Amino acid sequence: MTQLATIVILTGAGISAESGIDTFRSAGGLWERHRIEDVATPEGFARNPGLVLGFYDARRAALAQAAPNPAHLALARLEREFAGKVLLVTQNVDDLHERGGSREVVHMHGELKSALCLACETRSPWGAPLLGEAGERPPCPVCAAPMLRPDIVWFGEMPYQMGRIYEALGQCDLFVSIGTSGAVYPAAGFVQEARAAGARTLELNLEPSEGSHFFHESRNGPAGLLVPRWVDEVLEGSTRKRASHEG
Ligand code: BJW
How does residue 237 score in pLDDT terms, banded at 50, 70 and 90? confident
- Please give the pLDDT value at position 27: 83
The contacts of residue 163 (CB under 8 Å, 6+ apart) are none
Give the pLDDT confidence score for residue 134 in this predicted structure: 92
Q: What is the pLDDT of residues 133-155, one digit of tens each?
A: 999 999 999 999 999 999 999 99
d(CA 216, CA 193): 13
Give the length of the chain: 247
Q: Would you say residue 118 has pLDDT above 70? A: yes
The pLDDT assigned to 244 comes to 44
68 pLDDT exceeds 90?
yes
Task: From the CA of 162, give the closest atom in ligand 1.
Answer: 37
C-alpha separations of 166 from 76, 94, 212 in Å? 22, 23, 20
Q: What pTM did the predictor assign?
A: 0.95
Res 28 pLDDT > 90: no
Which of 75, 97, 155 is the pocket-test mutation for ligand 1 (most atoms within 8 Å of CB)? 155
pLDDT at residue number 240? 77
Give ligand 1 pocket residues (Cβ under 6 A): 12-14, 17-18, 23-26, 29, 40, 91, 93, 109, 152-153, 155-159, 162, 179-181, 183-186, 205-207, 209, 222-223
C-beta of residue 63 within 8 angstroms of C-beta of residue 21: yes
pLDDT above 70 as % of the chain: 97
Q: Which atom of ligand 1 is nearest to the CA of 188?
A: 19
Q: CA torsion angle for 201, 204, 205, 208 (degrees, to 10)?
A: 40
Q: Examine residue 139 and say whether the peptide bond preceding it is cis (omega within 30 degrees of 0).
A: no
Q: What is the pLDDT of residue 246?
A: 42
Q: Which of ligand 1's atoms lies nearest the C-alpha of 110?
A: 46
With a cut of 70, say whether residue 245 has pLDDT above it. no
Q: What is the mean pLDDT of residues 16-21?
A: 97
Phi-psi region of 57 (alpha: psi -120 to 50; beta: other; left: phi over 0): alpha
Q: What's residue 242's pLDDT?
A: 59
pLDDT for the residue numbered 239: 73
Ligand 1 centroid to residue 129 C-alpha, Å? 25
When pLDDT is averaged across residues 33-53 and rounded to a whole number, the result is 95
Where in the sequence numbering do the catalytic residues fall? Answer: 109
> Residues 190-229: pLDDT tens digits?
999 999 999 999 999 999 998 999 999 999 999 999 999 9
